[in-house]
Chains A and B, each alone.
Chain A
């Protein structure tokens, strides 16, 4: 597939800008950068170049506004829509694009939540064969995941060509998934994150938000603790994802997608997380340059200093991981029966089970769950987690013993049958940090 010219619509948004960087760098494509305000688009160009650390691509980025959309689209081999997550807005854009889309051109949406099939149906029938969902994760330069969705209208040979373009030229970890709510990565990731938010409420008297983050820190196979991640992503975006999953999926984990009231309250006060200065956490900056990181206390409704939680199991694990003794770290996790260790292992097991469960429902292989969690979240992927825990326990028995409520709902023999070994090395994901 020879993609020389690309139009990205909605280029001033975070994803629009970053996806543009990927097409212009690895794809070596000339990109028409379309936004509402051409001055804002021009101001975005340096940001696009720095997203891939290459000023040289700026020469291939052509600023445009919607008045120039027809011209841009008519010249493009591929059109990528990255506008706001609203079906009416996207359908309006689709109509405009379809007027000037060349017969041999590809059209994609970057939507993270809307139905690809519904969006395909915004195009005339003959153009639906060449329409796909291409969902990248932010920032794509360091998170190579690209979820790929086709529809019943798609032409399979074009789908195959586009997938190899995405993987071979753009160096994406391409995972084909079904046109299901929130697709695969966010469904798995935000299940855990939202359940962690629910646990923060349940254990608000133990500390709440910083308490749960301390239990599920980077020593449990991730870069950032889950509630810190939600704060980083933005609570409004978090809400959009979990509301979608709550309403439009119906599996055993459905209740875990219910947004806790305190999060809704923060959103109503426009405390959306890092981007708005306050959310689950708040960093207070003083005039003398000092910074103080505080956390929202669910019980009192005020921001307070973070409690330096120190749990014996976590301290021991971090010590073991610092010296690369992973087996000893996992042994501690499994053998320590404190409340915090129980919460921790419960989360890891539920994450593993739900990942494999969703992969069966939404993807075409178990390994898809591994790819999405490693390449989209930098979390220890489920099959690697399985291997890690297998070094100290029989994982199936552990599941039945520690999360019996899930073991009752899911056929574990079926789920864990013929698991392939992970291609990911679990060691790099378990860190000795917060």
Chain B
């Protein structure tokens, strides 16, 4: 099996509102492709040349463009970006907010199997085409729509509000202590985003005081005990990475590029009630999330002590909270310790989301998995600029779809 190298990539500026700019998905894809390929020193002529020998393919991650932009058949759209993609095998991959990861998984599998030498992985979502209530309904399709989301305003904040309730109940947590931890998680993500020049919230104000004042005019409750400050953003954006085989890297004399060292992919029961019912017998509130992490440790031969940074799926503060023990940073039920001690702070030893995460950097749902692996690439390659965590050698991402239904984990590191 071939090793899978990450050559680099690019993300668009998540602050941008493409609807306000009057631009469509082709414009978005053109920018992501132009910037991503340039960063990898690949031009369209090379794509054409590789394609003549059937050595390149493209993998597109997107959740629900059919709703947001009235468009399907998304794999075909690279041909609108540039004629160099005529004839290049390309398809769209979908697993709700883990769509980017399922595209990555397909791409790495083809590289490992020696089918292709170069894989262009592109995740994207345009979400600002509709108002937030309509968009919230679209996102409800990541749950069992008829049973969990139909006719419900903002179904996902409510589901992750329930995760908060269930976490408190399962571990008999002090509610104040738990909510304090969630506030701090939000503030860390906003603070980290200030260092990221492409983060959506880099110019926004957030403080612990503000995050704590849930249920006020500027921080209204949106799902049970969760308020706006606990939520990830509605974001337009795309992210692109290029994966390569050992053969390609050797041919081109490319050195010092990181590899994908391991991954995990597990699906939990779709319905939130069934998740909680099933997890009653486990120490973990999200046992399949934990299992995906364990699978990635097994495949990579690494343990939590080897991982220098984490990019997690903080669609809500309650999901980042649950991820802390899933990663193995604390015992399940004691996640607050990692928050209170500063362990997950930017300079805390095991930083989570130096990019700002989905709360700070933004969450164009189909792009997030790809954006995360791009950030792992940047961190372990020393290319993260102002949000570089010094000396990062190995890094992990957790990307989830639905209410932690699809769970994807990747470990990226230096060889």
Q: Are the C-beta atoms of A323 and B26 separated by less than 8 Å?
A: yes
Is A52 among interface residues, defined by CB-CB distance under 8 A?
Answer: yes
Q: Which of A25, A57, A431 contacts B21 (CB 8 A)?
A: A431
Q: Which of A374-427 contact B (CB under 8 A)?
A: 425, 427
- Chain B residues lying within 8 Å of A322, measured Cβ to Cβ, are 22-24, 27
Provide the bound-state CA to CA distance between A323 and B25, in Å: 8
How many residues of chain A are within 8 Å of chain B by beta carbon?
29
A25 to B: closest C-beta gap in Å = 4
Q: Which of B23, B31, B204, B213 contacts A56 (CB 8 A)?
A: B213
**What are the nearest 4 A-B pairs in CB distance?**
A324-B27, A432-B22, A324-B30, A56-B210
A216-230: CB near B (< 8 Å → 1, else 0) gives 001000000000000
Q: Are the C-beta atoms of A50 and B218 separated by less than 8 Å?
A: yes
Is A49 among interface residues, defined by CB-CB distance under 8 A?
Answer: yes
- Chain A residues lying within 8 Å of B204, measured Cβ to Cβ, are 53
- Chain B residues lying within 8 Å of A428, measured Cβ to Cβ, are 13, 16, 21
Q: Are the C-beta atoms of A171 and B194 separated by less than 8 Å?
A: yes
Is B279 among interface residues, defined by CB-CB distance under 8 A?
Answer: no
Q: Which of B27, B28, B203, B218 contacts A54 (CB 8 A)?
A: B218
Provide the bound-state CA to CA distance between A433 and B23, in Å: 9
State the A residues within 8 Å of B (CB): 25-26, 28, 49-50, 52-57, 59, 141-142, 144, 171, 218, 318, 321-325, 425, 427-428, 431-433
Is B20 among interface residues, defined by CB-CB distance under 8 A?
Answer: yes
Provide the bound-state CA to CA distance between A323 and B21, in Å: 11
Provide the bound-state CA to CA distance between A144 and B210, in Å: 21
Q: Are the C-beta atoms of B31 and A28 separated by less than 8 Å?
A: no
- Contacts A56-B210, A171-B194 given; indicate if A49 touches B218 (C-beta within 8 A): yes
B190 to A: closest C-beta gap in Å = 11
A223's closest neighbor in chain B, by CB?
B20
A-B contact count (CB 8 A): 77
Q: Are the C-beta atoms of B218 and A325 separated by less than 8 Å?
A: no
- Chain B residues lying within 8 Å of A427, measured Cβ to Cβ, are 31
- Chain A residues lying within 8 Å of B330, measured Cβ to Cβ, are none
Query: Could you write out 11 A-B pairs with CB less than 8 Å apart?
Result: A50-B218, A54-B205, A54-B206, A55-B217, A56-B209, A56-B213, A322-B24, A323-B26, A324-B31, A428-B21, A432-B22
Provide the bound-state CA to CA distance between A141 and B201, in Å: 12
Provide the bound-state CA to CA distance between A324 and B28, in Å: 7
Q: Which of B29, B30, B205 contacts A53 (CB 8 A)?
A: B205
Q: Which of A171, A318, A324 contacts B203 (CB 8 A)?
A: A171
Is B216 among interface residues, defined by CB-CB distance under 8 A?
Answer: yes
* Centre residue among B23, B31, B203 by max chain A CB count within 10 A: B23
- Chain B residues lying within 8 Å of A54, measured Cβ to Cβ, are 205-207, 210, 218
Q: Are the C-beta atoms of A323 and B24 separated by less than 8 Å?
A: yes
Q: Are the C-beta atoms of A432 and B21 separated by less than 8 Å?
A: yes
Is B69 among interface residues, defined by CB-CB distance under 8 A?
Answer: no
Provide the bound-state CA to CA distance between A56 and B30, in Å: 41
- Chain B residues lying within 8 Å of A324, measured Cβ to Cβ, are 23, 26-31
Provide the bound-state CA to CA distance between A304 and B183, in Å: 53
B26-60: CB near A (< 8 Å → 1, else 0) gives 11111100000000000000000000000000000
16 more A-B residue pairs beyond the given contacts A56-B209, A321-B22, A323-B24, with a C-beta to C-beta distance below 8 A: A25-B207, A28-B207, A49-B218, A50-B217, A54-B210, A55-B219, A56-B216, A56-B219, A144-B203, A218-B22, A322-B23, A322-B27, A323-B30, A324-B26, A433-B20, A433-B21
* Centre residue among A28, A59, A171 by max chain B CB count within 10 A: A171
- Chain A residues lying within 8 Å of B209, measured Cβ to Cβ, are 56, 59
Q: Are the C-beta atoms of A321 and B13 separated by less than 8 Å?
A: no
- Chain B residues lying within 8 Å of A142, measured Cβ to Cβ, are 203
Q: Which of B167-224 contact A (CB under 8 A)?
A: 194, 203-207, 209-210, 212-213, 216-219
Q: Are the C-beta atoms of A318 and B22 separated by less than 8 Å?
A: yes
B227 to A: closest C-beta gap in Å = 12
Q: Are the C-beta atoms of A25 and B26 separated by less than 8 Å?
A: no
Q: Are the C-beta atoms of A53 and B218 separated by less than 8 Å?
A: yes
